């Protein structure tokens, strides 16, 4: 589902450089990424999603070279294949929770907002424990509730690849386990691979593989 070769990325301002010689994620595989803050975990997810562009190297998502695509094609690939739960949620304040969850359908012409999709959003929200809060705006939601909205938005398109950045970070232990169950259930039903950055070490046994990111940390040469 993901194939990375000789990836090098440097932020324009210099300073931090990420090098990932080789990383492969099979269809349906569940991989956890751990590592110290600032080791480039979020950067890697942004590279896979085509939000950032590497200096060199190759990233394939479902056989398509993200790195060779233009901006519009990358956006299409993202919409059709990837569900991204952002570390800071990235909800839009002026939209209700329901509109946030359905947002991918607003911005992606290839996705059509059918009654089935609306029903799926409702079922997901109920399973996440926010079924009765869908008309609220983010300002009226707790951190944990915002996180659940972000998770529902990532799952509603039934993506083949779920990228999750600390998706359980703001939840209590019971909710963490329940949300991860839901994420894995949805992933299994859709045959989706999960790449999850997490600091919750008690959740690691639930993944098939754990990658420690400390090894990839490198400063750019000055
Ligand atoms: P992690 O998610 O593992 O905590 P990040 O990928 O967010 O780490 O960041 C890796 C490094 O890149 C950090 O040193 C961070 O300060 C730096 N960094 C992140 N975003 C930017 C940016 N937009 N411009 C320059 N440096 C950045
Ligand atoms: Mg991060």
Question: Model confidence over 70-123: pLDDT tens digits?
Answer: 988 898 889 889 999 998 899 999 999 999 999 999 988 889 999 999 999 999
Owning domain of residue 139:
2-219
Number of separate domains in the chain:
1
Nearest CA to ligand 1 atom 14: 38
Q: Is the CB of 39 under 6 A from ligand 1?
A: yes
Phi and psi dihedrals of 36, rounded to 5?
-60, 155
- Coil vs helix vs strand at 107: helix
Place of tokens 């609306």: 118
Q: How far is the CA of 88 from the centre of ligand 2 (A)?
A: 9
CATH of the domain at 114: 3.40.50.300
Residue 218 has pLDDT above 70, yes or no: no
The atom of ligand 1 lying closest to the CA of 37 is 4
Q: Which letter does DSSP use for residue 212 in this model?
A: E
Q: Which ligand is nearest to the CA of 35?
A: 1
- Reported as type and span, the H/E element at residue 165 is strand 161-165
pLDDT, mean over the chain:
91
Per-residue confidence (pLDDT) for residue 17, from 0 to 100: 92
- 217 forms bridges with which residues in the sheet? 18
Q: How far is the CA of 40 from the centre of ligand 1 (A)?
A: 6
Higher pLDDT, 115 or 185: 115
Strands 161-165, 2-10: pairing is unpaired
Judge whether 160 and 190 are in contact, CB under 8 Å: yes
């Amino acid at each position: 589902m993901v194939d990375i070769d000789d990836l090098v990325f440097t932020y324009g301002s210099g300073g931090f450089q990420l090098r990932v010689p080789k990383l492969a994620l099979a269809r349906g595989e569940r991989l956890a990424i751990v590592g110290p803050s600032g080791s480039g975990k979020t950067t890697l997810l942004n590279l896979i999603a085509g939000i950032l562009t590497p200096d060199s190297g190759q990233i394939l998502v479902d056989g398509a070279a993200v790195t060779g695509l233009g901006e519009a094609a990358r956006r299409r690939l993202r919409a059709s294949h990837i569900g991204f739960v952002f570390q800071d949620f990235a909800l839009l304040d002026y939209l209700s929770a329901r509109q946030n969850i359905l947002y991918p359908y607003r911005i992606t012409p290839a996705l059509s907002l059918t009654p089935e999709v609306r029903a799926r959003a409702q079922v997901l929200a109920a399973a996440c424990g926010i079924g009765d809060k869908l008309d609220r705006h983010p300002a009226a939601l707790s951190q944990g509730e915002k996180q659940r909205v972000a998770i529902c938005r990532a799952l509603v398109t039934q993506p083949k690849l779920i990228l999750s950045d600390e998706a359980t970070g703001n939840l209590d232990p019971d909710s963490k386990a329940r949300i991860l169950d839901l994420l894995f259930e949805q992933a299994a039903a859709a045959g989706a691979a999960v790449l999850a950055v997490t600091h919750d070490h008690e959740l690691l046994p639930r993944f098939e593989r754990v990658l420690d990111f400390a090894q990839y940390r490198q400063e750019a040469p000055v």
